[in-house]
Each structure stands twice: as C-alpha cells, then as structure tokens.
Chains A and B, each alone.
Chain A
C-alpha cells in the first residue's frame, strides 16, 4: 500500500475544490460521482478486510470483554453488563454524554431566545 503524498494531497485539494467552490453544473456532477466512487472503493476495500462479525478470533475478543462478561456482576453489582460498562467501568464517558445533551439544549435555547 504505497501512498504517494502528491496524489493524496491532489485528491484532497480536488475534493475541497469540487465540494466547496465549483459552481453547480454538469462538470460538478461528474466530478462528485467520480470522487464518491473513489471514496466508496476505499471504504469497500476497508470493509472487505475487516474481521468477520461474531468470529471467535477477532482482535476485539481480548481481555477487555473477558473481564466485562465474567466479572461485571461481582465487581459492580449490576447483572446487565451493558449498564455495568456504561455507568461504572466507563462512567466518565457517560458523564460526557450527559453533558452533550446539556450543551445541545443550551445551544438550542440560546439560539431560540436570542432572536
């Protein structure tokens, strides 16, 4: 997977030009379709290489889910492992999610009231 930096920068510049500056028209349509095919090809290549869903030997099956599944009830007291993860093992992320809700509502209200 040799990557040429000039080609990569060129594609990025072309994308930015097409998406942000090119006026609507026939050329823009053709270029957008072309770019979408390039991105889609890259994504398909990526997905085709991913480990099979649910396979035993995926990298995600390591010590992390082992402890979550095996010891969550005794360590956290919650029978539902998902809740044990989101409100105990990774409670800080959940605090972040609560703050996301809060900031969303503050931003929306400040917008509605500021008019």
Chain B
C-alpha cells in the first residue's frame, strides 16, 4: 500500500481541487479547513516517503500497471521526495498565512477558486518532481503554468492582469519550446521514458546531431523562461510583485525552482555525458547564472517597492541554483540543491513578512519602512533573519548553501565563482541590511491612522519559517544527508 502513496497524494490533491467548486453556501466555510487538511496530509505523506526511500531505496511506480516503455512511470528517488517535501511544507505554511491575508486582497466569492488553483499548482509541481516520462512532464508543466497565472490574476487589480498576461504569454511560449523538444526527442529515439531515452541517445548522437542539439536548446530556453534565468526573467518582477502575498511567496519560493529541478533531471538522467563534451551546455548555464546573480542583485538595489525588490532578488537567487547545476561537481550540486530548500524558506518568509507589513501598515515603499521595527518587532525581526540569511551570515541557512557552492567551486578549481558568490553576498548586504537597520534604528515617522493589528494566525507562519531559517542554519545535517544520496546519479 505504501508504494501507492505518491500517486495517491497527487490524486488526493486533484480530487480535492475538483470538489472545491462544489462547496457552496453553507459548505463554503469548510473550504479552508478542507484545503489545510489536504495540504497537511500531503505533507505527512511526503515525510513518510522520505523515510520509505531512505530505508528501501528509490522505487518506481507504474501507473495502470503497464511497464515503462508502454505506460507512464513515476520514479520516486531521493531528489523527488526532497522536492516533494519542500513543496508541500512551504505550501502548507503559506496557506496558513493566506487564510487571513487573502480576504483583504481578493473577493470572498472567488476564495474557493483560489484554493482550487492553489491545490492544482501543488499537485502539478509534485507531478513534475515525480514523473519519469517526458510527456507527463509536459502535461504537468501546462497545469502549473496556467494555475500559476491564475493565482496572480485573481486579484482585482489592473496591474495584476497585465503582469499575469505577460507571464502567461512568455510561459506558454516556454511550454511550446518544451513540447517541440519532447517531439524531437521522441522522433529520434522512439521513447518517452527517461531511462529508455537515455539508453537510446548515445547511438542517436552520430545520426541526428542537430536534432539533439535543437532539442537540448529548446529545453534550456523553455525551462529558463519558466524559471526566470537571467535574460529571460523579464516577466518575473511584475508578476511576483503585483500578486497577492501568499501567491508571491509560493511563486518565488517554489514555482521557479521546480523547473530548475526538472531541467536538472533532464540534463543528468536523460542527456548522455558525452554530449556535454561536445556541446558546452553546462558552461552556458554557468555564464547565465553568473549574469543572473550579478544583474538580479544590481537591479534589486535600485527598487523602491519592497515586493519588487524581493522579486529581483529571486532572480539572483535562482542564479545560485543554476550555478550549482552548471558547475557539475558533487559538492556544488549539493549546494545548488540545498539552496532550493533554503531559498524557498527564506524568500517565502520575506514575502510573507512584506505582506504583513502591507496588511498592517499599508506601506510598500522601502523608504517608508523607517522605524517600523518598533511598531512591528516580531515581523521585522523575522524580516531581519531572512535578510541575514540572504546575505549569508553564518548561523542562517543561506550560509550553508553558499558555503557548499563555494567549496564545490574550489574543488573544481574555479575560484572565480567563489569571488562571484562573495560579491553577490556583498551586494545583497547593500540592499537588505539598510532596510533592517533603518527599521529598527531609523528616525521614527508618524504611524498612519490605518495601522491594523497583526493577527496571530498570520504572524505564526512567518515565525515558523524564521525558526526554520535558523534551525537549518545550525542543523543542516538531515537535509544534506538526504541530498548526498540524491546526487549520486
């Protein structure tokens, strides 16, 4: 029975999202507890799956009972359960926050639609993490694209519609690229399953070199658009800053990462290693990631809106994940992967804290944040922890991932990237620390009349995430142990 759990959790999420629009009138109040309990169940399942995979190793699941080249296969290995744990835990915590915050950003009538889209987004991301089949990957990619646009555009705001339209167009173009790549791979290998494609590709290189090259570049462009790697990040600042705060937290923390994890799987499990000697894909990703880290930090420095600044900072941080992939060393990859979890924790916490500030004080501009630490000490304390973690101060989890990335770069004899990491930390310090310092020690400005109290239900998730940032800064052991097995490919 326990081997069925991965597919059951996807089916449960889909079933819950189908049931959600049926909750009408009296049952509408049940929507939130229902959503939370489903998310909690999926989180529990993901923890159990980690235990299962640790104890009995990776296993595959044949949907419909058909063996791989004919049917759809889910492959549950260490990386998959790690991603599933990250996705479900952050989604659960963010939803607890969103339960209160959403009511002041979107209308009550569309709340159940929001829960539906949210559950579908989580289901599709888990599907992307678990699947072992190229076409299933594409199908879940579509679901995640549309639902991610949905949770942005649901806000009654002209700016939001515009941003989500831009996101939709670019993201669908990315999906189209991925579909074309899948078609090409199918044409030259005759399989869709990752393992079988990987088996066939080495022979196909000699016969169809341009097809493989084109498929690879289409995958890279498609997934880079979706995960906002540097020159294709154009949609991200608008979309992530105008969305409701819980959506921003999920989008910035999880949605752009899952595509990075997907391309990691494709690069290391599907495409043969000989290909990378001929085509320097990893070098290309590495250059782009360096540009992303620098450009994201520099753009973030000149922003005035706090959520916009956080969005630009996400562009820099996704660069670290891609840097880990591009360096192609065990340790660097470990750093990049652990950064997925660490950045998900701290960035969603920062977005939620920013949402709390907007909720309570109605401030979006960074300069107006002066002295707000006195009024909202817990929120700004959490924000400060997140900022320290972004900079990479030891004792926070941001340090752990940067430390491993830097060590991995040194292992490979490429100290240039250590310099980039240090420089980026410095830039992060330049734009994050003044906010914290001004908030606590700046000249106090008169509080505006619309100041609202912070509800405990919104504050607690932020504090939980802040505690997570500290906890995994001191005890990264379990996560690192899990990932060390995940990168033995």
Contacts and interface: CB of A to CB of B under 8 A. Distances in A.
Mostly helix, strand, loop or mixed at chain A's interface? helix
Contacts of A59: 187-190, 200, 204
Nearest to B188: A59
Interface in B139-162: 139-140, 142-143, 146-147, 149-150, 153-156, 161
Contacts of A51: 187-188
Given A100-B142, A107-B147, A62 B191 contact: yes
A12 B287 CA distance: 11
B140 A106 contact: no
A4 B234 CA distance: 25
Interface residues of B, number: 66
A30 interface: no
B150 A2 contact: no
B24 interface: no
Nearest to B73: A92
Contacts of A56: none
Interface in A56-90: 58-64, 67-68, 88-90
A103 B136 contact: no
Given A9-B284, A64-B190, A92 B213 contact: no
Contacts of B489: none
Contact of B234 (A6, A16, A63): A16
B284 A92 contact: no
B274 to A, nearest CB: 13
B107 interface: yes
Interface in B67-102: 69-72
A25 interface: no
A23 interface: no
B208 A50 contact: yes
A40 to B, nearest CB: 12
Contacts of A114: 106-107, 110, 153-156
Given A51-B187, A90-B71, A103-B143, A3 B213 contact: yes
B72 A106 contact: no
A103 B210 contact: no
B231 A96 contact: no
Contacts of A106: 21, 113, 116-117, 120, 147, 150
Interface string B367-379: 0000000000000
A1 B117 contact: no
A115 B156 contact: yes
Contacts of B484: none
Contacts of B72: 90-93
Given A3-B280, A50-B208, A59-B200, A96 B127 contact: yes
B224 to A, nearest CB: 9
A20 to B, nearest CB: 5
Interface of A: 1-6, 8-9, 12-13, 15-17, 20, 42-43, 45-46, 49-51, 58-64, 67-68, 88-93, 95-97, 99-100, 102-104, 106-107, 109-111, 113-115
Interface of B: 14, 17-18, 21, 63-64, 66, 69-72, 106-107, 109-110, 113-114, 116-117, 120, 123-124, 127, 133, 135-136, 139-140, 142-143, 146-147, 149-150, 153-156, 161, 184, 186-191, 200, 204, 208-211, 213-214, 221, 231-232, 234, 278-280, 283-284, 287-288, 291
